[in-house]
Amino acid sequence: MQKASKRAFIRKVKRITALFAALAFVFAAMSCAHQNDRSAQATREVFAMDTYMNVACYGKNAEKAADAAVSEIKRIDALLSITSESGSIRNLNEKGSSNVGAETAGIIERALDIHNKTGGAFDITVLPLMELWGFTSGEYRVPEESELKAALDGIGSEKLSVSGDEVSLGGALGIDLGGIAKGYTSDRLIELFKEKGLTSACVSLGGNVQCLGTRSDGGAWRCGIVHPFHKDSGVYLGVIAVIDKAVITSGAYERNFTDENGVRYHHIIDPKTGYPAETGLASVTIVSESGILADALSTACYIMGLDGASAYWRNSAEQFDMILMTNDGRVYITDGIADSFTSDFEVRIINR
Ligand code: ADP
Ligand code: MG
Residue from 115, 267, 270, 286 whose mutation best tests the ligand 1 pocket (most atoms within 8 A of CB): 267
pLDDT in tens, 254-275: 899 999 999 999 999 999 999 9
Residues 6+ apart with CB under 8 A from 8: none
Specify the residue with its C-alpha closest to ligand 1, atom 19. 268
In this prediction, residues 174-198 reach a mean pLDDT of 98
Q: Residue 166 pLDDT > 50, yes or no? A: yes
pLDDT value, residue 18: 46
3-class secondary-structure state, position 246: strand
Distance 59 CA to ligand 2 centre (A): 30
Q: Quick one: which atom of ligand 1 is closest to the CA of 123?
A: 24
- Reduced to 3 states, what is the DSSP secondary structure of residue 228? coil
Q: How far apart are CA 193 and CA 69, in angstroms?
A: 8
Q: Best of 53, 124, 126, 285 to mutate for ligand 1, by most ligand atoms within 8 A of CB? A: 126
Of 115, 124, 126, nearest in space to 177 by CA: 124
Q: Are 258 and 134 in contact (CB under 8 A)?
A: no
Poorest-pLDDT segment among 174-188, 190-204, 221-235, 283-297: 221-235
Q: Is the pLDDT of residue 193 over 80?
A: yes
Average pLDDT over residues 292-311: 98
Give me the pLDDT at residue 232, please.
Answer: 84
Mutation pick for ligand 1 pocket among 268, 279, 283, 322 (CB with most ligand atoms within 8 Å): 268
User: Residue 316: which pLDDT band, with cuts at 50, 70 and 90?
Assistant: very high
Smallest CA separation from ligand 1 atom 15, residue: 178
pLDDT digits (tens, 9 = 90+) for 9-26: 545 444 444 444 444 444
How sure is the predictor about 153, in pLDDT bands with cuts at 50, 70 and 90? very high
Window from 31-40, 176-185, 227-236, 301-310 with minimum mean pLDDT: 31-40
Angstrom distance (rounded) from CA 208 to CA 254: 12
What pLDDT band is residue 233 in, cutting at 50, 70 and 90? confident
Which of 191, 95, 97, 178 has its CA nearest to residue 136?
178
Atom of ligand 1 nearest to the CA of 207: 4
The C-alpha atoms of residue 267 and residue 22 are separated, in whole angstroms, by 21
For residue 36, is pLDDT > 70? no
Residue 242 has pLDDT above 50, yes or no: yes
pLDDT of residue 187: 98
Q: Which of 317, 319, 348, 73 is nearest to 186 (CA)?
A: 73
Looking at residue 253, its pLDDT comes to 87
Around ligand 1, the residues with Cβ closer than 6 Å are 122-124, 126, 130, 135, 176, 178-179, 206, 208, 250, 254-255, 267-269, 271, 295, 298-299, 303
Set out the domains of the chain in order of their start, with CATH numbers.
3-60+186-350 (3.10.520.10), 88-175 (1.10.3980.10)
Determine the distance separating the centroid of ligand 1 and the alpha carbon of 33, expressed in angstroms: 32
- Looking at the CA of residue 121, tell me the nearest atom of ligand 1: 23
Confidence of residue 231 (pLDDT cuts 50, 70, 90): confident
The predicted model gives 17-40 an average pLDDT of 43
Atom 6, ligand 1: which residue's CA is nearest? 179
Reference 341, options 229, 214, 226, 241; nearest CA is: 241
Alpha carbon of 153 to ligand 1 centroid (Å): 20
Does pLDDT of 345 surpass 80?
A: yes
From residue 198, alpha-carbon distances to 68, 88, 213 in Å are 12, 30, 9
What is the pLDDT, as a whole number, of residue 82?
95
Whose C-alpha lies nearest to ligand 1, atom 4? 250
pLDDT for 32 beyond 80: no
Phi, psi of 285 (to 5 degrees): -115, 130
